[in-house]
Amino acid sequence: MNKIAEFALDFEKRGTLLYLELASKAKNSLSKNLFYTLAQQEIEHAKRIDAFYTASGKELPAVIYKNIERIEEEIKTFFQKIKETEMPAEKNIDGYKTAMELEKEGYRAYEGFYRESKEDKERQLLEFLLNEEKKHLEAIANVYSYLSGTEDWLEQEESKVWNWMNI
């Protein structure tokens, strides 16, 4: 297995374990849902990475590059269901910081691998992973900002936050 596959599978495993741990410790349902959703997506990434590197030159199914359900849509649907209920304060805000750092680490690593790679198919996979890490970071940052300082969150430029979270 090459260094990209080794790193990527280990990284997605670390992400899955972190998000499962954060979800189990979360006090409010928005945090739980976000972290369980991220854990599911990290597992999906690992499956795709494994499929890519075990295909050994065979034609790869398009599903490897197909976008995973957007995390924003999943959180939006969940948020609409719970916005009428009272959410307990989230005490594990540091978990959000840890999650953001993990996603930044993955993005930087995949970006480096992308620049080094000479294979078109591998670059497509890395581009997919870069986009996924960016979406994850955006999701975590938006929910973190919402939970940790709603007044600041509401003042941010709409293109940087999910404006549908305005209560």
- One-letter amino acid of 165: M
**Domain CATH number, residue 38:** 1.20.1260.10
Asked whether residue 156 carries a pLDDT value surpassing 60, the answer given is no
Separation of first and last alpha carbons in the chain: 48
Per-residue pLDDT at 165 exceeds 70:
no
Least trusted range by pLDDT, from 18-22, 51-55, 122-126, 146-150:
146-150
Please give the full DSSP string across the chain, using - where no structure is assigned. Answer: --HHHHHHHHHHHHHHHHHHHHHHH-SSHHHHHHHHHHHHHHHHHHHHHHHHHHSTTSPPPGGGTSPP--HHHHHHHHHHHHTTSPPPPP--HHHHHHHHHHHHHHHHHHHHHHHH---HHHHHHHHHHHHHHHHHHHHHHHHHHHHH-HHHHHHS-GGGS-GGG--
Report yes or no: 88 and 27 within 8 Å, Cβ to Cβ. yes
Write down the pLDDT at residue 158. 47
Q: Is pLDDT at 7 greater than 70 in this prediction?
A: yes
Backbone angles phi, psi at 84, to 5 degrees: -85, -15
CA distances, 83 to each of 24, 98, 145, 161 (Å): 21, 26, 16, 17
Domain that holds residue 28: 3-165
> How confident is the model at residue 167, as a pLDDT?
45
pLDDT, tens digit (0-9, with 9 covering 90-100), for 84-140 = 565 556 667 888 999 999 999 999 999 999 999 998 888 988 998 999 999 899 888
pLDDT above 80: residue 153? no
Residue 160 clears pLDDT 80, i.e. is over it: no
pLDDT single digits (tens) 28-87: 888 888 899 999 999 989 988 888 888 755 555 555 555 656 666 666 665 555 565 655
Neighbours of 129 (CB within 10 A): 24
How many domains, the chain?
1
Once rounded to an integer, what is the mean pLDDT over residues 21-32? 88
